[in-house]
Amino acid sequence: MNTPTQRYTTTAIALHWLMAIGIVIAFGMGLTMTDMPGITPAKLRLYNWHKWVGVTLFAFAVLRALWRLTHTAPTLPASIPRWQRQIAELTHYALYVLIFSIPLSGYFYSLAAGFPVVYLGVLPLPVLIEKNAELKPLLHALHFWLNMGLAALVLAHVGAALKHHWIDRDDVLKRMLPWSS
Amino acid sequence: MRKWIVGLGVLLLGIKALAAPIDVAKSSIIIVFSQMGVPIEAQFKRFSGDVQFDAAAPANTRAALTVDVASFDLGDPEYNKEVQKPEWFNAEKFTNATFTSNAVRVLSADKLEADGQLTIKGRTQKIVVPISVKQNGKQQIFSGELAIKRLAFAIGEGEWSATDMVEDNVRIRFTVVTAAQ
């Protein structure tokens, strides 16, 4: 008989997958838009939409962090070796750091470039720093490299989840799936 | 007939004698527009002109300005190059934008309203310019702000004519300084 494993809450599951989809979309937009030559309306539209997705993801990240701090996440099964549990904890912690630092670095990069962010074209967001020619390339690089770090961690995260599901055949991935199984 | 010629000559000499050249270093022509809701500021860096102003007879104020369109500065070399293109200023064909005032109405001790003609990209529009007049020591400062419609001058053609991309209303904020007359 299987002991019922703990599951993530519906809220945690929803935020996880909404953010996963949002991150993939924003990442794709980021790669595409920086590759577009010249200055065209299509490029400007993509830049603005990318920023709006980023702001939305930041809001979700805040909700997510608050939820996680107030709702205990399920612990990994005892069958998993301690070193794997430590890596998992470290990876998740790093992912939390990134879902905050990446939108923030992008936001400040936009401000340093002299472009305030107006969410959905209607809500002006606070101009926390003025246009700054020195900070602009630094923030650009920061945003880019943090994203490369995110890509690497997401690959590790997805790989580990699939390892648990297909190789270990445990319930680790199932705990985060929207459908109960 | 001779009286006319003499009269006209005196009139022209009179205007020439009273007009003061613009101090470009102290003056500014700032352009503010909205790109998908984001406020963008740019300025024309090279311009010249004359203002004829007599504090005793302010209704006789006359102004003429010539702006070098290639001096439009958005703060980024790639953007600056873009606005010189045919869809925007078409600077190769229309090197200057000009303003000439016609009638001036006195609204109060330090406020005027000038009817004038603004020519950009070969298209002329009648405009009404609010002017605040201030004397600062040996300088006369004329400042004000007005809105024009960029599409009336075909600034931003084709795919750039979309007003959700770049708003039709564009604000011109000017500060014109001359030696006190």
- The 10 Å Cβ neighbour count of residue B143 is 16
Compute the average pLDDT of residues B158-181: 94
Q: Which residues of B touch A51 (CB under 8 A)?
A: none
Q: Which residues of B touch A49 (CB under 8 A)?
A: none
Q: What is the pLDDT of residues B14-64, one digit of tens each?
A: 554 468 999 999 999 999 999 999 999 999 999 999 999 888 888 888 999
Q: What is the pLDDT of residues B97-136, one digit of tens each?
A: 999 998 999 999 899 999 999 999 999 999 999 999 999 9
Domain borders along chain A are: 10-176
Nearest residue in A to B163, CA atom: A41
The DSSP call for residue A165 is I
* The dihedral formed by the CA atoms of B31, B35, B38 and B43, expressed in degrees to the nearest 10: -20
Q: Hey, what CATH class is B21-179 in?
A: mainly beta
Higher pLDDT, A54 or B58: A54
> Looking at the partner chain, which of B75, B78, B162 has a beta carbon nearest the beta carbon of A114?
B75
Q: Is A41–B38 a contact, with Cβ atoms under 8 angstroms apart?
A: no
Q: Is B165–A45 a contact, with Cβ atoms under 8 angstroms apart?
A: yes
Q: Is A118–B38 a contact, with Cβ atoms under 8 angstroms apart?
A: yes
The Cα A33–Cα A44 span in angstroms is: 8
The Cα A82–Cα B65 span in angstroms is: 77
Q: Which residues of A touch B159 (CB under 8 A)?
A: 40-41
Residue A81: partners with Cβ closer than 8 Å, 6 or more residues away:
none
Compute the average pLDDT of residues B135-155: 95
The CATH number of domain A10-176 is 1.20.950: yes
Q: Which residues of A touch B39 (CB under 8 A)?
A: 116
Q: Is the ipTM of this complex over 0.85?
A: no
Q: What is the pLDDT of residues A94-127, one digit of tens each?
A: 999 999 999 999 999 999 999 999 999 999 999 9
Q: Is B36–A45 a contact, with Cβ atoms under 8 angstroms apart?
A: yes
The Cα A89–Cα B54 span in angstroms is: 78
Domain borders along chain B are: 21-179
The Cα A93–Cα A98 span in angstroms is: 9
| Residue B5: predicted pLDDT | 74
How big is the A-B interface in CB pairs under 8 Å?
A: 35
